[in-house]
């Protein structure tokens, strides 16, 4: 459910800005360069292999507050490819992202006595690691990070007179630092925001990071999550190098990207920079997630299709939805409830009239027997109601965020609410107990945690009105009805520097918790605001895992650095427009870079009603989101995929392919968990030297080699798709072959029910036969799609398959309930060979999984003299095995559309196999002369 989509937003903001005394406010009086920076007064090596230095401000000023006079910086190569630069107040502790929320090394404690001499300055101003080199200048202090192998500067904070930015600034509520950048660097990340120019950061666009409940239709604005990390991809002489920069800071910030420079302006905390050396995009996310947390293992069923709607008023409607999907033969794994199941919008409750527990349990038993799952929404605001057990127990345990010594009062869907403080260990325990109690009431299969930026329908300090009902029960539920007054008296509610909150410079406490509110141990909301959804996800994950020891599934709207370790994400309240379907791809790809690979957008749009054509195109695309869910608003017409015959047809086609690809997607889920590798990836992840793909935001890869090229424009029946160099085979018709010798765009037919999906050469793709529920689809026989370059005489291909008991909390080998298979294939000396290498085969053997077919694409001859081995033993009887040859249609970028090619390429289908997935096998044959 979203609140932001229907607010008369801009009018409210203008009114609020004027109330706060900020009408027409301008930063023109602030100079472009603030102060003279700092000078280095001492530096030494630490016993643990780092550098520890002290800085002194050169010239004090009071712009945005007083300078912190003495700073401590600590530099350490924490791994071969990760460098940390930590700068803080040298004389007292400052706020940092809590080390228990995001575990990492601690820098040396600050020292009370600061050295004033230079006598212990090191003779060298460089500090080398295996891949990165840190260097510094002393007066004014600046630092640079270089790549050792190439000497290229990756980050450089030194400023000279010609630069439009100044030296480092460090005040209590204003921190500024800048880096030079080469003009040809391609930057990605810095979210969450909706980027109208595509996935690449666009010079001049605003990038504000502060978790905010405004809908995803707002462009270039701070949205639900805060991810102060960017990836930088550069191409030098045909060689590509990627690195990444994380500023680990939870305070609100503006990041100004000018093309040749990037400047951070942060309203608190510390400079805690991490540099990840790459040098490939995959290596960067591996290094990044090794620090912030590997993405959570997802249950197999979560990769199926999900259906939700705000407005399923009673259980019979939900039952009809499930039945209608079945009748339409459209796959469906998970049915969701927005808050319609709740009693008065209150968490952990059931509406006794519309969702009576006995009938709901009967329904859940039925769908659970089929293998389907049920997920419900949960908002953090706890209704203030003396007869409400959740509230009573929360008050008894003192779990709520405070303001002026009392629980902070806000308004969300139940009316007046208090917000749990997830930084408090008692809150985490209480939250877990409430989830346990609710699970005993309703055996849910996951939780959807929404509105956790956190969202508040009111502003300032509020009280419950005594002379009126609040909410009244009529009109929109998001209109504030509490009695409230704005708070501007503290420097936390009205900081000296105003970030561009909500995209228009709104107060940072607008429509959320006032920033002078207090968390556990005196932590200010000002500092911890953007951690709220992250801390809630951690508490929810702990609770769900503790219920039955099963693998949790959590979907969170608000995210922070490290959220992917606990939760999936959807991109929030979008619109059913052609622009929004385009934006969804860039946001999805960014979250892969952020370490949150399980991500998708509301298919067909959250509101208003999509057109039939748009919904056709959106399910064709959304079938290949990592997280695939149709969700709509209370006020929108019904838009389940069976509502239009044409959309149902597109859904059967696209989701039919998704369900065949589930073993591949699940293997990508495993790779994400062990290495951070995104499920959906920009093209440059697999083709980093192919500069044409650096800005591509209308196509994406699933894994390394499955290319999705959707139609994203109204009335189009062709799509202009970029094909990096090599051979690409259509997954929907394996005979259709595109040979892109140099890498270029091709015009592809894409009538209404068609989406183009291609697989790259040198790939082995494990597929199954599909089905209407993943539980059924998972037990069907396997087909291996083996791809070589078209007409190959020598080549190789590889693939992977991971299988496990997806209810186990961990994804790992060695527990007796998982199997991992490496597939290989070669063509050499006119011999084709396909074989497997199995690790932990017992589980796959117990499940009875078999490979039934192998399809080899790109050969230049037909097959003869077939041989087969299973478990190292030759199989003499191969009479049931058939080799069927068919010629492929080749299209090259050197010919007009519809043209052919003189080179020949064959597809050989090997049928009648019965190869146990859990045993090593090998099949081979000689290639005869092309017929």
Gap between the Cα atoms of 208 and 254, Å rounded? 4
131 is written with which tokens? 């891949």
Residues paired with 94 in a beta bridge: none
The torsion angles phi and psi of 369, rounded to 5 degrees, stand at: -65, -30
Type and span of the H or E element at 132: strand 132-138
Q: Choose the catalytic residue: 192, 286, 450, 602.
A: 450
Dihedral angle at the C-alpha atoms of 242, 245, 246, 252, nearest 10 degrees? -120
Q: Choose the catalytic residue: 272, 379, 573, 580.
A: 573
Gap between the Cα atoms of 266 and 252, Å rounded? 6
Computed on alpha carbons and rounded to an integer, the radius of gyration of the chain in Å comes to 29
Could you confirm whether 453 is annotated as catalytic?
yes
- Side-by-side strand order, sheet with 132-138: 126-128, 132-138, 141-147, 153-156
Could you confirm whether 573 is annotated as catalytic?
yes
The torsion angles phi and psi of 226, rounded to 5 degrees, stand at: -130, 115
**Among 859, 871, 867, residue whose Cα is nearest residue 916:** 871
Type and span of the H or E element at 441: helix 425-441
DSSP codes joined into one string, 776-799 = HHTTSPEEEEEEEEEEESSEEEEE
Q: Choose the catalytic residue: 453, 494, 602, 630.
A: 453
Is cis: bond before 340, omega within 30 of 0? Answer: no
633-667 as b/e, with b when 16 or more CB fall inside 10 Å? bbebeebbbbebeebbbbbbbbbbbbbbbbbbbbb
Could you confirm whether 744 is annotated as catalytic?
no
Q: How far apart are the first and last CA of the chain?
A: 60
Is cis: bond before 279, omega within 30 of 0? Answer: yes
Q: Are strands 850-859 and 763-767 parallel, antiparallel or unpaired?
A: unpaired
Cβ neighbours of residue 107 closer than 8 Å, sequence gap 6 or more:
74, 76, 84, 86, 88
Which three-class secondary structure string do you get for 673-696?
HHHCCCCEECHHHCCCCCHHHCCC
H-helix segments, 192-341: 281-292, 315-327
Gap between the Cα atoms of 533 and 513, Å rounded? 13
Residues paired with 403 in a beta bridge: 406
Active site residues: 450, 453, 573
């Amino acid at each position: 459910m979203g609140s932001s989509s229907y607010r008369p937003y801009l009018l409210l903001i203008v009114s609020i800005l004027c109330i706060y005394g900020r009408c027409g406010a301008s930063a023109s009086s602030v100079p472009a360069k603030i102060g003279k920076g700092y000078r280095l007064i001492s530096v030494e090596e630490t016993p643990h292999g780092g550098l520890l230095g002290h800085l002194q401000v050169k010239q004090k000023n009071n712009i945005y507050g007083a300078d912190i006079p003495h700073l401590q910086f600590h530099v350490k190569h924490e791994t071969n490819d990760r460098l940390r630069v930590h700068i803080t107040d040298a004389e007292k502790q400052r706020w940092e992202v809590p080390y228990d929320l995001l575990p990492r090394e601690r820098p040396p404690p600050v020292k009370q006595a600061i050295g004033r001499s230079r006598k212990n300055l090191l003779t060298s101003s460089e500090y080398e690691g295996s891949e990165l080199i840190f260097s510094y200048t002393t007066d004014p202090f600046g630092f640079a990070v270089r790549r050792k192998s190439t000497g290229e500067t990756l980050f450089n904070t030194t400023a000279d007179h010609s630069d439009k930015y100044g030296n480092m600034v460090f005040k209590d509520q204003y921190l500024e630092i800048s880096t030079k950048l080469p003009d040809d660097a391609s930057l990605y990340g810095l979210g969450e925001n909706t980027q109208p120019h595509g996935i690449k950061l666009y010079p001049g666009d605003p990038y504000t990071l502060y978790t905010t409940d405004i809908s995803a239709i707002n462009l270039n604005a701070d949205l639900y999550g805060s991810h102060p990390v960017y990836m930088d991809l550069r191409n030098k002489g045909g060689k590509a190098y990627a690195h990444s920069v994380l500023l680990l800071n939870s305070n609100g910030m503006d990041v100004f990207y000018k093309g040749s420079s990037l400047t951070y302006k942060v309203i608190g905390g510390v400079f805690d920079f991490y540099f990840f050396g790459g040098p490939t995009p995959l290596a960067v996310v591996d290094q990044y997630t090794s620090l912030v947390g590997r993405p959570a293992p997802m249950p197999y069923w979560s990769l199926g299709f999900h259906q939700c709607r705000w407005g399923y008023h009673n259980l019979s409607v939900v039952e009809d939805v499930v039945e209608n999907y079945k009748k339409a033969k459209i796959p469906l794994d998970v049915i969701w409830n927005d808050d319609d199941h709740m009693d008065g919008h209150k968490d952990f409750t059931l509406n006794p009239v519309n969702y009576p527990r006995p009938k709901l349990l009967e329904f859940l038993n039925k769908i659970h027997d089929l293998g389907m799952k049920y997920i419900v929404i949960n908002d953090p605001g706890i209704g203030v109601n003396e007869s409400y057990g959740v509230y009573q127990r929360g008050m008894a345990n003192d779990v709520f965020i405070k303001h002026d010594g009392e629980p902070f009062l806000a308004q969300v869907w139940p009316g007046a609410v208090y917000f749990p403080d997830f930084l408090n260990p008692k809150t985490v325990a209480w939250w877990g107990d409430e989830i346990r109690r609710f699970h005993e009431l309703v055996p849910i299969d996951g939780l959807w945690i929404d509105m956790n930026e956190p969202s508040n329908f009111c502003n300032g300090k509020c009280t419950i009105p005594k002379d009126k009902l609040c909410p009244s029960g009529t009109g929109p539920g998001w209109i504030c009805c509490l009695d409230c007054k704005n708070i501007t008296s503290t420097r936390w509610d009205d900081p000296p520097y105003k970030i561009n909150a909500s995209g228009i410079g709104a107060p940072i406490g607008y429509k959320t918790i006032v920033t002078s509110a207090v968390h556990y141990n005196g932590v200010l909301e000002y500092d911890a605001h953007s951690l709220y959804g992250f801390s809630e996800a951690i508490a929810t994950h702990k609770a769900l895992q503790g219920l039955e020891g099963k693998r949790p599934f959590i979907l969170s709207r608000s995210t922070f650095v490290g959220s992917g370790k606990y939760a999936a994400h959807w991109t929030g309240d979008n619109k059913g427009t052609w622009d929004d379907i385009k934006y969804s791809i860039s946001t999805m790809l960014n979250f892969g870079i952020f370490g949150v690979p399980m991500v998708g957008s509301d298919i067909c749009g959250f509101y208003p009603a999509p057109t039939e054509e748009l919904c056709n195109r959106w399910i064709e695309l959304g079938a290949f989101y990592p997280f695939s869910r149709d969700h709509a608003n209370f006020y929108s017409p019904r838009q389940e995929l069976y509502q239009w015959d044409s959309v149902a047809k597109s859904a059967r086609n696209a989701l039919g392919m998704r369900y065949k690809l589930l073993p591949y997607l699940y293997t990508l889920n495993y790779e994400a968990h062990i290495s951070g590798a995104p499920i959906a990836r920009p093209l440059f992840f697999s083709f980093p030297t192919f500069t044409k793909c650096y800005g591509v935001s209308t196509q994406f890869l699933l894994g390394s080699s499955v290319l999705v090229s959707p139609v994203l424009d109204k009335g189009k029946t062709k799509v202009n798709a970029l094909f990096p160099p090599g051979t690409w085979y259509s997954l929907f018709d394996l005979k259709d072959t595109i040979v892109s010798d140099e890498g270029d765009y091709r015009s592809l037919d894409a009538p209404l029910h068609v989406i183009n999906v291609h697989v790259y050469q040198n790939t082995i793709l494990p597929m199954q036969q599909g089905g209407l529920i993943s539980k059924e689809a998972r037990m069907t026989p396997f087909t291996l799609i083996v791809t070589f370059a078209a007409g190959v005489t020598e080549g190789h291909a590889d693939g992977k398959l991971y299988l496990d008991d997806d209810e186990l909390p961990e994804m790992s080998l060695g527990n007796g309930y998982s199997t991992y298979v490496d597939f290989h294939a070669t063509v050499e000396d006119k011999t084709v060979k396909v074989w497997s290498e199995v690790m932990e085969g017992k589980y796959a053997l117990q499940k009875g999984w078999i490979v039934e077919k192998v399809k080899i694409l790109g050969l230049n001859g037909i097959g003869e003299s077939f041989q087969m081995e299973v478990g190292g033993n030759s199989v003499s009887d191969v009479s049931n095995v058939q080799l069927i040859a068919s010629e492929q249609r080749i299209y090259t970028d050197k010919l007009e559309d519809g043209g052919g090619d003189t080179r020949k390429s064959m597809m050989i289908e090997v049928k009648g196999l019965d190869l146990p997935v859990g045993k090593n096998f090998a099949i081979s044959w000689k290639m005869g002369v092309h017929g």
